[in-house]
Amino acid sequence: MKKLLAAICLLALVVALCACTPDGGELREAYKGGGYDFQPFDVTLTGAQEYELADGFSVVKDANISPKVAYVLLFATLGEARGYVEDHAADEDKPNMARAGRLVVYGSEEAVAIAVA
């Protein structure tokens, strides 16, 4: 009985974590509403080509003045997201890295805040 209860609790936790992770469409709308433009996305620039991604894109705002850029990665699984953060958290070219569930985002503070708010 205890094992069944533990399994149910674990399943509820996984469902809750997945529900907290916004999908790519919601994030695109949030960035679009914030005045960001989408730029060509190259997964090799993020170092995520070894991981299974569900979605990924990059955005920029004020490209000609003081660019605010974000790379948004939505991983297929929570384990993939955790692994990516463990492997790349110390990378100097990935500032302000944040993870929320399967979502990992890095870039300017302002741009990262939109995804993890």
Domain residue spans in the chain?
A: 21-116
Q: According to the model, what pLDDT value does residue 60 have?
A: 96
Q: What are phi and psi of 41, to 5 degrees?
A: -105, 125
46-to-2, 3, 16, 65 alpha-carbon distances in Å = 43, 40, 27, 24
Return the structure tokens found at 55.
């979605």
3-class state of residue 105 by DSSP: strand
The candidate with the shortest Cα–Cα distance to 106, out of 42, 61, 57, 52, is 57
Q: What is the pLDDT of residues 27-40, one digit of tens each?
A: 999 999 999 999 99
What is the model's pTM?
Answer: 0.79
